[in-house]
Homo-oligomer: A and B are copies of this chain.
């Protein structure tokens, strides 16, 4: 959580940080029309307008209303419309119906944001003691920034006109080669895992605790599209022995034969990006794959996925540098350096670990205690951040999680093996 500072410096830093994050959300949506910002392409996704409103509601509900009362609220029904899943707060609009909220328009949602920003600025000055949830609120908004990008990509992928959020980026022509696939060894032993309590972290990253790791090896970079193509061409999607039982059943019923968004045009593989349809860059990390596919690939490659503990132990001393959202590419980049191990950015890496509580885990008190704990069932941990993650959002202990069949995030994999 936020550390104590001198009031003025703290207040100023707080405001700077708050403005930087809030402004970035609006920048991401700058090229969206009212209709773009309203549509919802599947129940897993949310409209951009909803992301912009919901993140504001979080501040209104958990920071402003407790201090200023209900009078501070912008609109009496917005809590019903823009609550996501906090049961303790009350009823909420059905998730699959979010795309039918053509009103309020985007302009009114932006006005809502300005309203909340004005009151938050006031709060920083008047009630610094009531700002304890600010780091959580900002981390929350950064999570929704990433979702806004992946949700818009999914929406645009449904449109035969293939719209683009950023039409001018085309990196596929770059003439880069991926570093050769190599392995780095880690000795394991009794190692410490989890957040060390310096700086903000989500509750699910604590408490830090010791685990025993056998020696293991990790690949120094993510699996590339070229390697994935070998899996495809070796009938990987049709060979049940590579797959988990639930995974193969899902792949069959969903008709998966490639990563999400791949399509051939005149025999050449293309994919959809936030800059429109582009050729698949065979040197870049594969992305938009599910855990089931990642696991099947690893099995086919006679390797396995790393556990989240192995990943964290291996990555703990590496600075979180890599291709993040700040690059503006929104596509994983070629990992070229043979002398480096790439842990952060480009693609979230599926691990072999279900998302379960750490020993001694306790959810935060109050409604925000619903933040992570109630999702600790049926989901798998991903690590490292992606090309759509804000750079200052990630850390070695960060645990992202999705159900094993989800593919619309920038999700890829790194191989591991026993020594």
Known: A100-B155, A244-B376. Contact between A161 and B35, CB under 8 A? no
Nearest CB in chain B to that of A207: its residue? B214
| CB proximity to B under 8 Å, residues A271-324 | 292, 295
B100 touches A158 (CB 8 A): yes
Q: In the bound complex, what is the Cα–Cα distance between A2 and B254 (angstroms)? A: 43
A240 touches B87 (CB 8 A): yes
A102 touches B163 (CB 8 A): yes
Q: In the bound complex, what is the Cα–Cα distance between A290 and B243 (angstroms)? A: 26
| CB proximity to B under 8 Å, residues A61-87 | 77, 80-81, 85, 87
B241 touches A360 (CB 8 A): no
Give every chain B residue within 8 A of A353 (Cβ-Cβ).
356
Q: In the bound complex, what is the Cα–Cα distance between A244 and B347 (angstroms)? A: 28
Query: A354 at interface (Cβ–Cβ under 8 A)?
Result: yes
Nearest CB in chain B to that of A292: its residue? B377
Query: A388 at interface (Cβ–Cβ under 8 A)?
Result: no
Interface bits A335-365 vs B (CB < 8 Å: 1, else 0): 0000000000000000011101101100000
Nearest CB in chain B to that of A243: its residue? B374
Q: In the bound complex, what is the Cα–Cα distance between A392 and B36 (angstroms)? A: 37
Query: A137 at interface (Cβ–Cβ under 8 A)?
Result: no
- The count of identical subunits is 4
Our pick among B77, B155, B418 for the contact of A102 (Cβ within 8 Å) is B155
Query: A118 at interface (Cβ–Cβ under 8 A)?
Result: no
How far, in Å, is A183 (CB) from chain B's closest CB? 17
Give every chain B residue within 8 A of A80 (Cβ-Cβ).
160
Q: In the bound complex, what is the Cα–Cα distance between A103 and B158 (angstroms)? A: 11
Query: A20 at interface (Cβ–Cβ under 8 A)?
Result: no
Give every chain B residue within 8 A of A101 (Cβ-Cβ).
159, 161
A377 touches B103 (CB 8 A): no
Q: In the bound complex, what is the Cα–Cα distance between A214 and B354 (angstroms)? A: 20
Our pick among B85, B104, B246, B378 for the contact of A161 (Cβ within 8 Å) is B104
| CB proximity to B under 8 Å, residues A198-241 | 209-214, 240-241
How far, in Å, is A7 (CB) from chain B's closest CB? 36
Query: A181 at interface (Cβ–Cβ under 8 A)?
Result: no
Query: A105 at interface (Cβ–Cβ under 8 A)?
Result: yes
Give every chain B residue within 8 A of A244 (Cβ-Cβ).
374-377
Query: A404 at interface (Cβ–Cβ under 8 A)?
Result: yes
Q: In the bound complex, what is the Cα–Cα distance between A245 and B211 (angstroms)? A: 28
Q: In the bound complex, what is the Cα–Cα distance between A190 and B36 (angstroms)? A: 55
| 9-residue interface stretch from A37-45, A121-129, A168-176 | A37-45
Give every chain B residue within 8 A of A14 (Cβ-Cβ).
none
Nearest CB in chain B to that of A309: its residue? B359
Query: A390 at interface (Cβ–Cβ under 8 A)?
Result: no
B39 touches A360 (CB 8 A): no
Q: In the bound complex, what is the Cα–Cα distance between A104 and B163 (angstroms)? A: 9
B214 touches A211 (CB 8 A): no
Query: A117 at interface (Cβ–Cβ under 8 A)?
Result: no
Query: A265 at interface (Cβ–Cβ under 8 A)?
Result: no
Known: A100-B41, A158-B100. Contact between A241 and B378, CB under 8 A? no
Binding site for B on A (CB under 8 A): 33-39, 41, 77, 80-81, 85, 87-88, 93, 97, 99-106, 155, 158-161, 163, 190, 209-214, 240-241, 243-247, 292, 295, 352-354, 356-357, 359-360, 370, 374-378, 404, 418
19 additional contacts (CB under 8 A) given A101-B159, A354-B354: A33-B102, A33-B103, A34-B35, A36-B102, A39-B39, A81-B160, A88-B241, A97-B158, A102-B163, A209-B212, A244-B376, A245-B374, A245-B377, A246-B378, A247-B377, A352-B357, A353-B356, A377-B404, A378-B404
A–B pairs, 21, beta carbons within 8 Å = A33-B34, A34-B34, A34-B35, A35-B102, A35-B106, A38-B38, A101-B159, A101-B161, A190-B212, A209-B214, A210-B212, A211-B212, A213-B359, A241-B370, A244-B374, A245-B375, A247-B377, A352-B356, A352-B357, A354-B354, A378-B378
